[in-house]
Amino acid sequence: MTERTFNLNNSVAPVTLRLIIINTLIWLAQMVAEHRFGIDLAQLLGLHYFPAEDFSITQALTYMFLHSTDGINHLFFNMFSLWMFGSVIERFWGAKRYLFFYLTCGLTAGLAQELVWHYELRSLIPLANEMINLGDGIVRYGREILNLPVTVGASGAVFGLLLAFGMLFPNSVIFLFFLPIPIKAKYFVIIYGLIELFLGINPSWGSNVAHFAHLGGMLGGFILIRLWRKKGDIDGPYN
């Protein structure tokens, strides 16, 4: 196995920096469009269920660059994680492989979300032109209900980076804000993945979060890393 010097520093690698800037600028554009012009960019560019009227294949890419405008938390934690894990991975893989990996994880996350929606909403597809009683006096066409779910955010791609970090640097120690004890990256990834699985299976615990999309990003990253290692394109782990 090739030996490399493992060095975590605080500088931001160039592609990671550009991704952070792009996500932040788009979030600001969302805020301006919504509050100044009444345009909901999430509705236009966020990922919809594929049978929905507002679905577009380009949303599989655009959704991962938008974030919730209800506050800054969604954007901040995604960009913080992108900086924390992405910069290190980019330095080891180089810009092109890193960006391909990031986008692929975002795409597999979107695919996972589509599969979840299909499991939940497929029975409504034949009822698209019929009125459906949702209770409490709310009646809507089936096509309107199919159009309601929207997913935005870089979380799926970021979870792919988290998985990659755990596979490349399994013995690196991570310190968390909410857990004041050190934990090795390999254990952190396993625990986080199990938590996401639990919350995905029990949605009442996980609020309005696309947990299976996060798992889809991790799964896509895992498969890609295994393929690259089998072909000899990458090595590791590095510690």
For residue 239, being part of any structural domain is answered with no
The closest of 106, 196, 211 to 157, measured between CA atoms, is 106
CATH code where residue 141 lies: 1.20.1540.10
Residue 117 lies in a domain: yes
Determine, yes or no, domain membership for 23.
yes
Looking at the domain assignment, is residue 18 inside a domain?
yes
The answer to whether the beta carbons of residues 207 and 73 sit under 8 Å apart is no
Contact 47, 150 (CB under 8 A): yes
pLDDT tens for 136-189 read 778 788 899 999 999 999 999 999 999 999 999 999 888 766 667 788 888 888
d(CA 208, CA 43): 16
pTM of the model as a whole = 0.89
Q: In the prediction, which pLDDT does 93 show?
A: 95
Mean pLDDT of the chain: 88
Share of the chain above pLDDT 90, in %: 64
Q: What is the pLDDT of residue 178?
A: 60
The pLDDT confidence band at residue 235, using thresholds 50, 70 and 90, is: confident
Tokens of 125: 């597809």
| Residue 4 counted as domain residue | no
What's the pLDDT tens digit per position in 40-92?
Answer: 999 999 999 999 999 999 999 999 999 999 999 999 999 999 998 999 999 99
**Peptide bond before residue 237 is cis, with ω within 30 degrees of 0:** yes
Cβ neighbours for 117, distance < 8 A, ≥ 6 positions apart:
49, 149
- pLDDT band for position 128 (50/70/90)? confident
Residue 7 within any structural domain of the chain:
no
Q: How many structural domains comprise the chain?
A: 1
pLDDT of residue 206: 46
pLDDT at 129: 84
Report if residue 215 sits inside a domain: yes
Return the pLDDT at 90: 96
Task: Taking residues 210-218, report their average pLDDT.
Answer: 91
pLDDT confidence of residue 65: 98
CA atoms within 13 A on the CB side of 16: 24
Residues listed for the chain: 239
Examine residue 6 and state whether it is found in any structural domain, yes or no.
Answer: no
Residue 1: CB atoms within 10 A of its CB come to 7
Give the pLDDT confidence score for residue 179 in this predicted structure. Answer: 63
Q: What was the pLDDT predicted at 99?
A: 98
Range of the domain at 181: 14-231
